[in-house]
Chain A
Amino acid sequence: MENPIRNIAYDALVIGAGIAGGETALNLANTGYKVLLVDRELSVGGKMIMLSKVFPTLDCAACITTPKVSEISRHPNITIFTGSEVSKIRKVSDNEFVALVTKQPRYVHIEDCTACQLCEKACPVNVRDQYQFGLIGRKAAFIPFSICSPKAAAIDIDNCTLCGACEKVCPTNCIDFTMEVETMELHVKTIVVATGFNLFNAEKMPRYGFGKYKNVITAQQMERELAPTRPFNTILRPGDGKVPDKIAYVLCVGSRDASIGNPVCSQICCMYSIKQAQLLMGSLPMADVTIYYINIRSFGKGFEEFYQQAKGMGVNFVKGKIGRISEKENGNLILRYEDINEGKLQEAEHDMVILSTGVLPNTGIDKLFENQKLQLDQFSFIGQSDMLASPAKTSIEGVFVAGTATGPMDIPDSILSAGSASSEAISYLIQHP
């Protein structure tokens, strides 16, 4: 890294541009503060923008996220750095933090790109599309996804062959392979951490066969299959492209499981699985959908009714954690479980299995702070110094936390938490001008 660009000043730095970070940035910006919003992905919107619908209202997730995202993008008080990461934070005084931000080159000048997709067509490289969670492929010159923001192409330099085909077809000459890593030194008065969560990697439970059996997918992948901007235009199982008609959900994959190191409940899996089951019954009216659960935790407003609605629609609920999954020759899967209500071991055949993977902390944020200690809780989520009275406060004065960075929660709770973090940050800015 060369000499950083210095003397950039903002009132607030928001790390993470998901729904919580975005909401926080908007609240701060609407109050008149200058905000820098940083996200390591190529688009703002976080995990929510990739979802199909939200529970328990079945509202379209993109229809809630995209207006918000465009508001963030167009707001005069918000500057967005995508493909960027904060690498160091030092607290100088009560109203000054110095943060080092590294911006990875996109190799495309965003302001000139018209998202015409000609570069995509020209690019000869095919790789798995991480924004569709590996369900389909994409090019090395690509638009991340259809509703991304900023809507501009990017070059995946790790897979690029540097053939120059994209450069030749680009009508606005916005592709620029001379771009380099930029490092910036920022001076901000307050920081909001909204770094979200990671989903459990289902490959860590080999007995469920994810990664080995093609028709075992994660709920995140099913979320893409159900979304309005979905890749296949219908529900297909990846093994052979068959439309499934006996679908199983396996709950608590990577949550409430001390044997894989995460003993806590992820709070969202029951509900998103019930939501997906309802959507599947809409997409595939003849399909059987079974949810294998330990306990259904429908604790929020309207959640129990939503659960009962799924039961009424004919979703099967079976109490019993899946022990093992094995694959038949035709790609169907045998699920072994104990039916707790009967007390008997059972085996069931399904043609597609969806693993409802749990919420894990997005680790490493505490390492950014150089001269202060950002306390974590016992599960490595960011610790709330006063959880009951001021849930957005952290162990560092002037650093606040929003959304799932503090622990598993659903979208309404994340937005509430963002509201709390932004008002705490505003109050801090007023007290430390």
Chain B
Amino acid sequence: MSKINPAFNKELEKFGSVNYNACYNCGNCTAVCSLSTEDDSFPREMVRLSVLGLEDDIRSSLKPWECYYCGECSTHCPQEANPGELMMSLRRYLTAHYDWTGLSGLMYKSLTLSIIAFVATFAAVIAFAVSVGFELEKMLHFGHMFEGIAIGTIGFTILLPNIARMWYYTILKPKTKVTFMKYVKSIGELFIHMFTQKRALGCDDNQFRWFEHFILVIGYLSLLFTTVVLNWFGTSSLFVIVLGYIMSAIVFVVTIDFVKGRMKAKKEVSKHSQPSDIFFVVWLFLMGLTAFMVRLFIDLDILESNKWLYIFHLTVLVQWALIIVPFGKWTHFLYRSFAMYFAKLKAD
């Protein structure tokens, strides 16, 4: 039996949906979507489920993750019901539901809370800096330690349980029978999508956006590896130093274009940006830029006299690791890859 939630509209509005109730079911959105297929037809199905407030069906659906938001459906919607933005809101809604801590949902719904979180982390960093007497060596050491510990802790206590919850909602609860061998055999799908996002290539006139995104993911992951494993700020290996410069430059140069797009809000995809979308690209930009600057200052030997830069970098890093990665848009990267993996499991 299906349960209908008549107030679902109100709930989804908090995640940014606009006007989807105007839908008159012509199916134009599904027909113009270049990712939609006979076996996987969307977004109208999701519009229908949302209009009716069939929350169980929405939570068990992987379709919101299969959309890469080219915006064609919204551009051509005869009712201006904005199906593209609905899919985006559903991704935010699902993120909130997968998250066992509930913090994702709270931060999506309340900008104030997000700002409080950002301010609190900033205060914590300052407090830490004071406690070590602004000693650069100690701060650098802590920063390096922090990255490793944060990745491990966030990964095991938040991201992994959330993925498990996603698996529960989409595979276990709808009683999809999947053999163990299938889990093993399909695992390649997960990594392919995680590193390449190749599905986004299917979107019309999206090759450039996909390429930017691809470079960004590679740049981001390599930067993470360079700083955490290769200890970029502490190393004396020329190779690692140059590698770090390149990777951090890639991250902030590519994100400039994304930030510009969000600010201009001309394309369908960025017309309805939520604060969470802005935070994501801006913080990514700051991460790349401040990391680049810190290493540059180290090489020029002026970081000692410009400790503020490192404190700034550390703040961005802590906010990124404690707010945006576990509760913000970063998780989409993870859920999308797993959604493709789960979809493969579900397909015969």
Are A336 and B79 in touch, CB under 8 angstroms?
no
Which residue of chain A is the closest to B77 with respect to CB atoms? A259
Asked if A207 and B41 make an inter-chain contact with CB atoms under 8 angstroms apart, the answer reads no
| B36 proximal to A (CB < 8 A) | yes
Given contacts A259-B80, A321-B27, contact A345 B32 (CB under 8 A): no
With a CB–CB cut-off of 8 A, which chain B residues contact A294?
A: 24-26
Known: A344-B38, A344-B41, A346-B38. A321 touches B31 (CB 8 A): yes
**Which chain B residues border A256 with CB–CB below 8 Å?**
24, 78
Q: Is A337 an interface residue (CB 8 A)?
A: yes
C-alpha gap A320/B36 in the complex (Å): 15
B36 x A321 contact (CB < 8 A): no
Q: Are A259 and B78 in contact (CB under 8 A)?
A: yes
Is the C-beta of A323 less than 8 angstroms from some C-beta in chain B? Answer: yes
Given A294-B26, A321-B26, A338-B41, does the pair A345, B31 have CB atoms closer than 8 Å?
yes
Nearest to A293 among chain B residues (CB) is B26
Q: Say if the beta carbon of B75 comes within 8 Å of chain A.
A: yes
B44 at the interface (CB under 8 A from A): yes
B27 x A320 contact (CB < 8 A): yes
Residues of A within 8 A of B79 (CB): 258, 263
**A310-338: contact bitstring with B at CB < 8 Å (1 yes, 0 no)?**
00000000001111100000000000111
B226-269 residues with Cβ-Cβ distance < 8 A to A are none
When distances are taken between beta carbons in the complex, the residues of chain A under 8 Å from B277 are: none
The closest CB in chain B to the CB of A262 belongs to B78
Minimum distance in angstroms from A200 CB to a CB of chain B: 13
The dominant DSSP class at the B interface is loop
Q: Is A241 an interface residue (CB 8 A)?
A: no
Size band of the interface chain A makes with B: 20 to 34
A160 to chain B, nearest CB (A): 43
- The answer for the CA separation of A114 and B265 in the assembled complex, in Å, is 64
B44 touches A338 (CB 8 A): yes
The residue in chain B whose Cβ has the minimal distance to the Cβ of A257 is B78
Q: Do residues A323 and B76 form an inter-chain contact, with CB atoms below 8 A?
A: yes
User: In the bound complex, how far is the Cα of B29 from the Cα of A322, in angstroms?
Assistant: 10
Bound complex: CA A258 to CA B75 (Å): 10
Assembled-state Cα–Cα distance A320/B39 (Å): 17
> Which B residues lie within 8 Å of A345 (CB)?
30-31, 33, 36-38, 41
B41 touches A343 (CB 8 A): yes
B204 to chain A, nearest CB (A): 10
* Contact (A340, B27) CB under 8 Å given A259-B80, A345-B41: yes
* Complex CA distance for A321 and B23, rounded to whole angstroms: 13
1/0 contact string of A39-76 vs chain B (CB within 8 Å): 00000000000000000000000000000000000000
Q: Quick check: B31 and A336 within 8 Å, CB to CB?
A: yes
Q: Mark B1-29, 1 if CB is under 8 A from A, else 0.
A: 00000000000000000000000111111
Min CB–CB distance B338 → chain A (angstroms): 24
Contact between A207 and B76 (Cβ–Cβ < 8 Å)?
yes
A20 at the binding interface (Cβ < 8 Å)? no
A252 CB-CB contact with B under 8 Å: yes
- Render B58-91 as a binary contact track against A, CB cut-off 8 A, 1 for contact: 0000000000000000011111100000000000
| Distance in angstroms between the alpha carbons of A155 and B76 in the assembled complex | 43
Cα distance A257–B77 in the bound complex, in angstroms: 8
Q: Chain B residues with Cβ under 8 A from A324's Cβ?
A: 31-32
Chain B contact residues, CB within 8 Å of chain A: 24-33, 36-39, 41, 44-45, 75-80
Q: List 19 A-B contacts (CB under 8 A).
A: A258-B78, A294-B24, A294-B25, A320-B26, A320-B31, A321-B78, A322-B31, A323-B30, A323-B31, A323-B33, A324-B31, A337-B27, A337-B31, A338-B41, A338-B44, A339-B27, A343-B41, A344-B38, A345-B30
When A and B form their complex, which 4 residue pairs have the shortest distance between CB atoms, in order from nearest? A323-B31, A338-B27, A321-B26, A338-B30
- A interface with B by C-beta (< 8 Å): 207, 252, 256-259, 263, 294-295, 320-324, 336-340, 343-346
Known: A321-B31, A323-B31, A323-B33. 5 other contacts (CB 8 A): A320-B27, A336-B32, A338-B30, A339-B27, A344-B41
